[in-house]
Amino acid sequence: IFLILMVVGFLIFFAGSLSVIYARKISQSIVDLNTRVDDMALGNVDDLAKEVGPNEIQQLARGINRLAITIRDANLLTQSEIARATSQLHATLNELEEVAKGQNQFLARMSHELRTPLTAVIGFSRLVASEESTVKRSEYLDVVEVSSTMLLTMIDDILEFSKAQSAGFTLEKINFDIRKWLVDVMAIHRKSAEDKNLKLHHEINGSLPQLVRGDPVRLAQIISNLVSNAIKFTEEGVVSVNIEMDSSPENFNILHCTVKDCGKGIAIEQQEALFEPFTQENEAINRLYGGAGLGLSICKKLVNIMDGDISIHSIIG
């Protein structure tokens, strides 16, 4: 009996020791998990809890680890969003700096461009006032007229350029007679073409309906600017305008307008730059014909607002 009691006592002691050890392990696991949760609260979500111990402790550890991974992914996403927003902010600031720089250049260039014809108007007006010769007075008045016209053209271009750049610029959408409209536009340039012995020709595809929908004033501004340039840089031959209609994949009807001239042509490397503000083919052109170099830039802006496209195809010779 004593032996049996000793065995039972040993078993009880052994079981108790195992229970204490097991309890300590569970307690330590819980302490470790609690420490891990405290670390997560402080922002440390990189170190994962050890998934050891009894099944319940392992399940609890896995749950904590899933939460840590979720928080970590959310932090990474937030950091990515912050980085993206910061990048966009820098891009916006750069754009604003470019806009401010462009405005300063615009003002400086316009001050320079306007000064030349304005100085001529003032200077020759004074000469007219002091000149007794009728012939000389007539010559001076001719210079005043040319300079005044140049000045007015520049001012118109500046106003149109500024208007096209404004955020509130909108297009009118009305039905108008495309054939009568083109006749009126071409009539504006008949005199300047006749002065250079140039022929003006226009044609509208027969399939085009009588009425089209759009902004006739802005469309006339575009075509008129292109025709004016064509006449300006053509010494002999024909300036023609052709209008036809294309159908887009979305079943929209698109006007396709082509202005052709017989000028000397423009080098390929210079063609794309002509749509930039203040750009002319070269300084000799600027001195010969004047202008601020805004016409094609205005055309491009208007065409873009109309969801269209404008391009140049030219061959030297």
The CATH number of residue 115's host domain is: 1.10.287.130
Residue 285 in any domain: the answer is: yes
Residue 138 or residue 4, greater confidence: 138
Residue 140 in any domain: the answer is: yes
Residue 92 in any domain: the answer is: no
Rounded CA separation 124/126 (Å): 5
Q: Domain end: 59, 76, 93, which one?
A: 76
The answer on 193 and 153 residing in a single domain is no
The answer on 239 and 119 residing in a single domain is no
Residue 213 in any domain: the answer is: yes
The answer on 185 and 297 residing in a single domain is yes
Residue 180 in any domain: the answer is: yes
- Based on the structure, what is the number of domains in the chain? 3
- Whether the pLDDT of residue 8 is over 50: the answer is no
- Whether the pLDDT of residue 291 is over 60: the answer is no
The answer on 284 and 178 residing in a single domain is yes
Q: Domain end: 23, 42, 76, which one?
A: 76
Provide the CATH number for the domain around residue 237.
3.30.565.10
The answer on 233 and 182 residing in a single domain is yes
Residue 311 in any domain: the answer is: no
Q: Which domain holds residue 195?
A: 174-305
The answer on 226 and 151 residing in a single domain is no
The answer on 286 and 191 residing in a single domain is yes
- Whether the pLDDT of residue 149 is over 60: the answer is yes
The answer on 181 and 157 residing in a single domain is no
The answer on 45 and 146 residing in a single domain is no
pLDDT tens profile 65-77: 777 777 777 777 6
Query: Mean per-residue pLDDT for 27-52?
Result: 70
- Whether the pLDDT of residue 106 is over 70: the answer is no
pLDDT tens profile 239-253: 999 999 876 655 567
Question: pLDDT at position 243, please?
Answer: 93
Stretch among 45-49, 188-192, 284-288, 309-313 having the lowest mean pLDDT: 284-288
The answer on 269 and 219 residing in a single domain is yes
Residue 251 in any domain: the answer is: yes
pTM, full prediction: 0.56
The answer on 69 and 16 residing in a single domain is yes
Q: Domain end: 38, 60, 76, which one?
A: 76
Residue 146 in any domain: the answer is: yes
Q: Which residues contact 294 (CB under 8 A, 6 or more apart)?
A: 157, 158, 160, 161, 277, 278
The answer on 156 and 178 residing in a single domain is no
